[in-house]
Amino acid sequence: MARLANLETEYPVLDSTVRNFCASHGIFSVEDFLIHDLYMLAAFAEQNNSSERLKEGIAQVLSIIDDMHQPWLNGMELLEDAKRNKHVFPTGIQGIDLLLGGGIRVGQLTELVGPSSSGKTQVCLRTASNVARNHLVLYLDTGNSFSPQRIAYFLGKTINPSSAQAKNQFLQKVMSNISCHSVFDMFAMFDVLHQLESYLRCQDGRGGCQMRLLIVDSISSLISPVLGSSSTQGRALMTSAGYLLKKLAHQHNLAVLIINHTVGGEGGYSKPALGDSWKCIPHSRLFLSCDRGSNNYNVSILRHPSMASGKAARFVI
């Protein structure tokens, strides 16, 4: 939101008298205006010499603010939007799809939590290979865990190879839909999400193959180095990243899948990392674990908007 000084060119009402009056109350930008008590401000304006000017200025700023909020939607419009845009993408793993009633939902942030080697990256790769058949996928990799061979293996399992060349063409077509980018710190991640936002805004206008899945593997390794030090910037970065991901998911009809790891909790049980502030940010949270020495994995629901938590299932990759 702009500083009041910058708005003067567009709205000449906000001249220096208005600005000096606001500055005397500690208001320098439109945002400060929102935090302030407006009745008190109006009362002070009354007592001032050029009260008419000041009241006009205040009214102008309020009208600017009115233009800035998101449009109101009623229940029917939301239902329309849900039916038309918010589909469900199957992950390709039977156990998980049955548990979630179809798969991961567009417009929601789904989190996979689990100790190391519990299959989180494998589930993401499998989902990416499934969704990439018809849509674009962006995979943000923080630990060099993206493996194109694995994607090729998953795709190879699902088709009947009529000829090596046909199989090659199919692989090329699907794998070109998956883009992978490595990010190694939180600020680079924000840059990438910023670029993604402008890409998605252009995409909404045109047709063709659209991006529908964003995977972040893993968000905890980006946030852990900045979280917990004496300043609160780490937590601010974490929550603003979470809100940005949810906003992208809802406004541009993306399914977002993120990976988190676990830390030791009380009593020796492992609990998800990133603490209580992160707990309420993802829409759904799934806890993965692996039976030692075998290919069997367990998944249980920690949180889901439409299903009871505690339900569990097993799956094999």
Residue 170 φ then ψ, to 5°: -60, -45
Nearer to other proteins, 42 or 244 (CB): 244
Chain centroid, CA 195 distance in Å: 14
Rg of the chain over Cα atoms, rounded to whole angstroms, equals 25
When asked if residue 145 is in the footprint of other proteins (CB under 8 A), the reply is: yes
Residues 233-292 that bind other proteins (CB under 8 A): 233, 236-237, 240, 261
Among 34, 42, 64, 192, interactor with other proteins by CB under 8 A: 192
Residue 276: both structure tokens together: 């209580």
C-beta of 9 vs 162, nearer to other proteins: 9
Rounded Cα–Cα distance for residues 18 and 208 (Å):
50
Considering the rule CB under 8 A, would residue 210 count as an interface residue with other proteins?
A: no
Instruction: Quote the CA–CA distance of 304 and 288 in Å, as a whole number.
Output: 15
Q: Rule CB under 8 A: is residue 226 a binding residue for other proteins? A: yes
225 binds other proteins (CB under 8 A): yes
Q: Does 34 interact with other proteins (rule: CB under 8 A)?
A: no
Q: What is the closest distance, in whole angstroms, from the C-beta atom of residue 103 to other proteins in the complex?
A: 21
DSSP 8-state secondary structure symbol assigned to residue 71: P
> What is the CA angle 187-244-135, rounded to 5?
100
> Please, what is the minimum distance in Å from the beta carbon of residue 184 to other proteins?
4
- The letter for the amino acid at 291 is D
Stretch touching other proteins by CB under 8 A, among 69-77, 179-187, 246-254, 303-311: 179-187
**Across the chain, which distance is largest between two alpha carbons, in Å?**
87
Does an H or E element contain 89, and which? strand 88-89
Contact pick of 24, 85, 179, 309 for other proteins (by CB under 8 A): 179
CA of 248: how far to CAs of 145, 159, 171, 199, 253, in Å?
Answer: 24, 33, 29, 11, 7
Residue selected from 8, 11, 28, 51 as contacting other proteins according to rule CB under 8 A = 28
Looking at residue 32, the DSSP 8-state letter turns out to be H
Cα 217 to the center of its chain, rounded Å: 13
Least Cβ distance, residue 77 to other proteins (angstroms): 29
Give the up-direction half-sphere exposure of residue 172: CA atoms within 13 A in the CB hemisphere.
6
Binding residue for other proteins, selected from 10, 16, 24, 31, defined by CB under 8 A: 31
State which H helix or E strand residue 277 sits in. Answer: helix 275-279
State the nearest-atom distance from the C-beta of 172 to other proteins, in Å. 5
Estimate to the nearest angstrom the gap between the alpha carbon of 198 and the chain centroid: 15
> Is the Cα torsion angle 245, 249, 254, 257 positive or negative in sign?
positive
User: Applying CB under 8 A, does 121 fall inside the site for other proteins?
Assistant: no
The residue from 14, 196, 299, 313 that contacts other proteins (CB under 8 A) is 196
Based on the shown chain and the rule CB under 8 A, indicate whether residue 33 belongs to the binding site for other proteins: no
144 binds other proteins (CB under 8 A): yes
153 binds other proteins (CB under 8 A): no
Residues lying near other proteins in the complex (CB under 8 A): 1-4, 6, 28-29, 31-32, 116, 132, 136, 138-139, 142-146, 148-149, 151-152, 171-172, 175-182, 184-185, 187, 190-192, 194-196, 198-199, 202, 211, 221-222, 224-229, 231, 233, 236-237, 240, 261
